[in-house]
Structure 1
Amino acid sequence: MGRLVQVLKTAAIAGTAAAIGGAAFYSTLDVQRRFELASATGPLVRLLDPETSHRVGILAARMGLFPKETRPDPPALRVNLWGRSFPNPIGLAAGFDKDAEAIEPLLNLGFGFVEVGSITPRPQPGNPKPRVFRISELKATVNRYGFNSEGADAAAERLERFWRRVAADPTRKKGLLAINLGKNKETEDAGDDYAVGVLKLSRYADFVVVNVSSPNTPGLRALQGRKQLQSLLTFVRDARDGLEWGPGGPPPLLVKIAPDLTESDKADIAAVVAATGVDGVVISNTTIARPESISKYPASREAGGLSGPPLLEPTTAVLADMYRLTRGAVPLVGCGGVASGEDAYRKIRAGASLVELYTAMAYEGPVIVPRIKQELAACLERDGFASVEDAVGADHPNIPRPGKKKGAGKR
């Protein structure tokens, strides 16, 4: 309670200062300073519990308190994938904007894409609170949200409003929009729930992600078994293809997998992806493993999925395995532990065409978005790659890479 009072008092002081002359002062700052100022409030917000901090972040975005990126991205960061052009490969992972409340402000931060969700067909509260725990020393988090969602209908209303604004002014959409679909906890036939998500939401998406990998919904990860996954993805793909689409066709369909997989699990998933014609794989969700490096922290004993820097090594290893198993034929999205441009570059060299982050922004604030892009561009230049596409899969010299220009880049 004492911390909350302190935060409220500080917020009141800040609000008064803004009313007196803060807006005028803010208008004098360059773009980078605006990002730094927005991120400087992070330690104050983190005086609150993690879930309240999360809600404060969403509200700040909705209220227009996030900075807007107006500087162009380096040309080397542009990625062409699925017939779509990404201004850069850095995306915001699902889990931050669960209900599509702040799409435009988040895209305005300079992300190449934003993934909203997971969105379930019907509203559900998720797991009991508390359900999010910080390991601040490692800038890591454990969560067991459990797909808390306002449901597909509420999300569809917000998505409809967003696209109406874009139709009126196309410049309002700075990047691409992905929609992550989940299932309701009590649903027995998962295919039905994912099909409902496709029917209600896919028309709003630049691409759709089927989440079968959250550790916080009972039985969900069992859907990654070969037979179950092939049946599910075939059913969802057919539901998508059964809708009417314009000349651009349906949105690409991706599946998001867990990092906690055996070698046979990974081989099965690669086989299913090839058999079903899925357009891509997101690698990966949070982990139920507890590395030795976090064992001394109380939050490590909480049930749920671990995210943040401890996830970088294991998820990048799974990413590399999936690139090898699919022979580079299926676009991969690298997610897990990304906190710098060097981290993103490692994912790209391991086989990722796109890279997502979330926990790092919760700790570092919006300033991480321009920083990570600048660092990634420097990594590409350092190693002689003309573009992100040239660097994808560079750590796999025995796998042909169509985007790789002859003689470009270092091994």
Structure 2
Amino acid sequence: MDLSASLLDIRFANPLLNASGVWCRYNEELDGLRDSAAGSFITKSCTLATRAGNPEPRYYATPLGSINSMGLPNEGYTYYLDYARAYDYAKKPLFMSVAGLSLEDNLAMLAAIRDAGLPAVVELNLSCPNVPGKPQIAYDFAAMDRMLEATSREYGRPFGVKMPPYFDIAHFDEAAAILNKYPLVAFITCINSIGNALVIDIEQESVVIKPKDGFGGIGGDYVLPTALANVNAFFRRCPQKQVIGCGGVKTGEHVFMHLLAGASLVQVGTALQEEGPGIFARLNGELAALLERKGYTSIEAVLGKLKTL
């Protein structure tokens, strides 16, 4: 069975990697992903300076997934750039996630990554708020347009964007129109967690995380249908770009769904947090068995082949 995948003309042994934010804050965690059965891996979304993040508890697992309000805890971009400089790219491809708190911060980090001349692939996180009182960048279409114009001009290399979920067809259309303006936006990662959910513990009659009075982003089973819709919406609307699927993946069947919807690669978040990097070997095995049962010999044969009624 051929599980190999391709993105930006880079070959991957299989389509799986972690979602940025999970198992990737420290070098030891990144090494665990490097040594796992994942086809590639991505660093923690980084900011210009180190951030401790929001107060604990800020992550809580539920029977159907998770809720979190992490607050971008990370070691600062130089920590991940140093890892990328020392990394042996013969092992597997490496992505770097950038999530500056301002346009200027993003441009400074991207310039440093560009000037390092590394083969690491950049994923620019547009699904984090960067101005108090303003929506996250990808929900502010004018700000997203400015961010992509400046990034394309200053970075000058192909890169990808991490998107929040959209829920309206008109918003799919408008976001895609902006993304299609910029040829250097080579891939679109869909989705980040669904924001501002609330999980309640009925025994304690309380919220389960501390930040934002308990409001946080949900992942896991809750978000799979929304993730698939966003993957397919951008696969259809951005034919010159590739899509990375993210959201609700914990079985080989879920990986297969993302591939059918149009994902070239598939990220794993909540399930990785709960199971650890050993999940990638299990997912690859389940995916291969499913493909064999259905008579496919490669993932390329199913990519984007979702049927409509």
Q: TM-score range by the shorter chain?
A: 0.7 to 0.9
Offset of residue 260 of structure 1: 4.2
SS at match of 2:81: helix
Deviation at residue 289 of structure 1 after TM alignment: 5.5
Task: Return 5+ residue gaps in structure 1 as ranges.
Answer: 1-73, 185-189, 242-249, 398-410
Q: CA offsets per residue over residues 261-320 of structure 1, 9 Å max, x none?
A: 4322211111111111110100010112549xx667653882111111111111111212
**Structure 1 residues 63-78: aligned runs within 5 Å:** 74=1, 76-78=2-4
Query: In the TM superposition, what whole-angstrom CA distance separates every residue of 1:296-351 from its partner, at most 9, and x where no partner exists?
Result: 7653882111111111111111212222222x432000001100100000001011
User: When you count strand as a share of all residues, which structure comes out higher?
Assistant: 2
Matched AA of 1:180: S
In structure 1, the residue matched to 2:191 is 284
Listed one character per residue, the Cα deviations across residues 19-71 of structure 1 (whole Å, up to 9, x for unaligned) are xxxxxxxxxxxxxxxxxxxxxxxxxxxxxxxxxxxxxxxxxxxxxxxxxxxxx
Q: After superposition, where does 1:217-228 map in structure 2 within 5 Å?
A: 218=132, 219=134, 221-228=136-143
How much has 1:201 moved relative to structure 2?
2.7
* SS of aligned partner of 2:301: helix
Please give the alpha-carbon distance, in whole angstroms, between the structure 1 residues aligned to 2:137 and 2:97: 18
| Paired letter, 1:152 | Y
Q: Could you tell me how far apart the structure 2 residues matched to 1:101 and 1:146 are?
A: 21
Q: Indicate conservation of the 8 Å contact 1:142/1:302, yes or no.
A: no
Helix, strand or coil: the match of 2:215?
Answer: coil
Assess, with a 3 A threshold, how the Cα gap between structure 1 residues 394 and 337 changes in structure 2: closer, same or farther.
same
State how 1:3-402 maps to structure 2 within 5 Å.
Answer: 74=1, 76-96=2-22, 97-135=24-62, 137-138=63-64, 140-160=65-85, 162-163=86-87, 166=88, 173-184=90-101, 190-202=102-114, 203-214=117-128, 218=132, 219=134, 221-241=136-156, 250=157, 252-277=158-183, 278-288=185-195, 290=197, 298-299=207-208, 302-326=214-238, 328-396=239-307
Distance 1:196 1:84, change over 3 A: same
Q: Which amino acid aligns with 2:277?
A: P
Deviation at 1:392, TM superposition (A): 1.0
Q: Distance in 1 between matches of 2:140 and 2:181?
A: 14
Normalising by structure 2, we get a TM-score of: 0.87
Q: CA deviation at 1:133?
A: 1.9
Contact 1:256 1:283 in 2 (8 A): yes
Q: Deviations along 1:53-109, whole A, 9 cap, x unmatched?
A: xxxxxxxxxxxxxxxxxxxxx4x1111221111110011110021355543331211
Q: Take 2:287 and 2:37, find their aligned partners in 1: how far apart are those partners?
A: 14
Distance 1:208 1:396 in 2: 32
- Equivalent pair of 2:19/2:269 in contact (CA under 8 Å): yes
User: Separation in 2 of the partners of 1:334 and 1:319?
Assistant: 6
User: Unpaired runs of 5+ in structure 2?
Assistant: none
Change (3 A) 1:276 1:120: same
8 Å CA contact 1:215–1:287 kept in 2: the answer is no
Instruction: Please give the alpha-carbon distance, in whole angstroms, between the structure 1 residues aligned to 2:56 and 2:197.
Output: 21
Alignment identity in percent?
A: 26
- Residue 161 of structure 2 aligns with an amino acid whose one-letter code is V
- Once residues 390 and 179 of structure 1 are traced to their aligned partners in structure 2, the CA distance between those partners, rounded to angstroms, is 29
Task: Please state whether the residue corresponding to 2:21 is helix, strand or coil.
Answer: coil
Instruction: Point out which structure has higher relative CO (alpha carbons under 8 A, 6+ apart).
Output: 2
Q: Which amino acid aligns with 1:211?
A: N
User: How many residues end up aligned between the 2 structures?
Assistant: 297
**TM-score normalized with structure 1 length:** 0.67
Cα distance in 1 for partners of 2:171, 2:223 equals 19
CA separation of 1:183/1:100 partners in 2, compared to 1, >3 Å: closer, same or farther?
farther
The letter of the residue matching 2:276 is G
Q: Deviations over 1:121-162 (max 9, x none)?
A: 122222233222222x23x221111112221122222332x3
Whole-angstrom CA distance in 2 between matches of 1:182 and 1:220 = 15
Query: What letter matches 1:212 in structure 2?
Result: L
Provide the rounded CA distance (Å) in 2 between the counterparts of 1:325 and 1:359. Answer: 28
User: What's the Cα RMSD here?
Assistant: 2.5
Distance 1:216 1:113 in 2: 28
Partners of 2:140 and 2:77 lie apart in 1 by 26
